[in-house]
Amino acid sequence: MFAEKVVIITGASSGLGRQLAHDLAARRCRVVLFARNADALAEAVAECEAAGGEAMAVTGDVTQPEDCERLIAKTTERFGSIDFLISNAGLSMWAKFEEVTDLSLFRRLMEVNYLGLVHTLHFALPALKKTGGLIVSIGSIQGKIAVPAHSGYVASKHALEGFCDTLRYELEETGVDILTVHPHWIQGTQMRANACTADGAAMGESKRSHNHESITLEQCAREIIDAMRARAARTYHPVTPAPRAHSQGIVARVVATQSAAHFSGTREIAMARTPTRIGFSYWLARFTSGLFTRTWIRRRVLHSDRVPETGGVILASNHVSYLDPFYMVCSVRRLVIALARASAYKVPLVGTLLHSWGVIPVDQSGSGRGLKTFFTRLRAGDAVMMYPEGTRSHTGQIQAPQPGVGFIILKSDAPVVPVKLFGSYEAFNRHHWFPRPYRVEIKFGEPLDFRDLRAKANETKDKELLKKLYHQAATDLLHAIATIEPGMDKTGQNLI
């Protein structure tokens, strides 16, 4: 999902920002590095290009709005779009409040750690909304807890946390997501050396070593990229740092103890990276419907091995019966998430069941929160089924695709597996009050490759061309479903 994507990284001349730039370039991203140190930026760009990516350096300061505006202008001028904004520039402090003699350091901390994101995002947001991009805010575990000798830093990270939480509400319907990252301590950065002391000067090199709860740059960058791929909302590194008696220094002990207490029992990062949690009623319904369709209806499944065992995937099928979702759910080994009209959630008992089954509510236009949830579940690794025709067929014949089907296909990076149900209409259609004992066959086609259409859709801004590409994707999908032939028996006769 990262190939050819445009990524802006602030604070990219050293530490975590530089590591992220290198690792994303290795995944063929187009990386824009932003920092004040021109020489260090040039070295980082060379590393990115050696890793196989395309990179560009822009020199500037996140505390200066005009520099941030220039950053976004240069990025869009060269690459035309922005897919990820990683706000990584940061400044720390190491002094008790009562010892501080230069109060301006509190302003500097707020300008770098909080306003640094505000400035860059203000100019980048229009471009991010066009691509349904991701904002990555590199915060800190100290954005959640209080730590002595870091009062200004803690305050700035709390401000950053509140800003991002608010934006999640404001951007909910735009397709733009926010990932807030909460590292513990990271090895190999200059955060401590550059930290402000009581008089505002940099702390400089220290003999103090990192404790056992620290994390390497490489590991932290790898975990952040994994979270970006899953479009997670929050990550913690490590997830639950455990307190140790031999932790070095009061700050290390407080962070280890408070973070373990604060996050005891939570798994936000794990939940963000794994498929939907489903209630017991889902598995009960899956078992009972599987038993019923195997015995009474004589359900037969062909080529279910064509569905990837892991990772996000779209299962696209024809739709002729109320039982179609149950056929699909029972036909693959992995968990499958369905879609349902939002109006169904208003029926008390039905709504409760749909919620416990993880069903995604969508309105008739296919837009809004349901569509965002659809993409979120795909990125998290779920198998999601969809019916390109929208509603059940009155005749059993395949209908024209609904508007938005092509958009969903091309905006997703997930493979699309066409599925065709044979005999479902005869077994139970709009005119039946109870299913008949008629053989139903569920046959899975070969996964479809939409890479070329997706690449064209990502490259163009021509609305008319996009409409044509969306229409072509939807038409290709319906054609793939329609041309699936029923299985044969040993004599070469159709089983349906």
Beta bridge mates, 341 = 362
**124 and 256 inside one domain:** yes
b/e code 25-51 from CB counts within 10 Å (16+ = b): bbbebbbbbbbbeeebbeebbebbeeb
DSSP-assigned states of every residue in 27-57: TT-EEEEEES-HHHHHHHHHHHHHTT-EEEE
Q: What is the largest CA-CA distance in the chain?
A: 92
**232 and 301 inside one domain:** no
**417 and 467 inside one domain:** yes
491 found inside a domain: no
Last residue of a domain, one of 218, 241, 273: 273
- Say how far apart CA 134 and CA 181 lie, in whole Å: 13
**244 and 284 inside one domain:** no
**97 and 239 inside one domain:** yes
CA angle 193, 197, 201 (to 5 degrees): 75
302: three-class secondary structure by DSSP? strand
Beta bridge mates, 448 = 416
Q: In the chain, which stretches have pLDDT less than 70?
A: 205-213, 238-279, 363-370, 392-394, 396, 488-496
Residue 425 is a catalytic residue: no
437 found inside a domain: yes
CA angle 275, 276, 280 (to 5 degrees): 125
**261 and 301 inside one domain:** no
Looking at residue 423, what is its pLDDT? 86
489 found inside a domain: no
In this structure, what token pair is assigned to residue 314?
Answer: 């779209």
496 found inside a domain: no
**89 and 119 inside one domain:** yes
**250 and 305 inside one domain:** no
- Say how far apart CA 34 and CA 267 lie, in whole Å: 33
308 found inside a domain: yes
291: three-class secondary structure by DSSP? helix
Last residue of a domain, one of 273, 297, 317: 273
460: three-class secondary structure by DSSP? coil
Can you give the residue range of the structural domain that contains 245?
6-273
Phi, psi of 215 (to 5 degrees): -130, 145
Looking at residue 258, what is its pLDDT? 43
**345 and 442 inside one domain:** yes
Read off the DSSP letter of residue 2: -
**251 and 293 inside one domain:** no
488 found inside a domain: no
CATH number for the domain that contains residue 215 = 3.40.50.720
DSSP-assigned states of every residue in 147-183: -TT-HHHHHHHHHHHHHHHHHHHHTTTTT-EEEEEEE
- Say how far apart CA 180 and CA 173 lie, in whole Å: 19
CATH number for the domain that contains residue 345 = 3.40.1130.10
Looking at residue 389, what is its pLDDT? 78
Angle of helix 15-25 relative to helix 217-230, nearest 10 degrees, comes to 60
Cβ distance 314 to 413 under 8 Å? no
Looking at residue 489, what is its pLDDT? 52
The mean predicted confidence, pLDDT, of the chain is: 82
**212 and 180 inside one domain:** yes
Read off the DSSP letter of residue 271: H
Last residue of a domain, one of 256, 273, 290: 273
Tally of domains within the chain:
2
242: three-class secondary structure by DSSP? coil
What is the Cα Rg of the chain in Å? 26
**252 and 289 inside one domain:** no
Beta bridge mates, 86 = 9, 136
Looking at residue 262, what is its pLDDT? 38
413 found inside a domain: yes
Catalytic residue among 153, 236, 282, 387: 153
490 found inside a domain: no
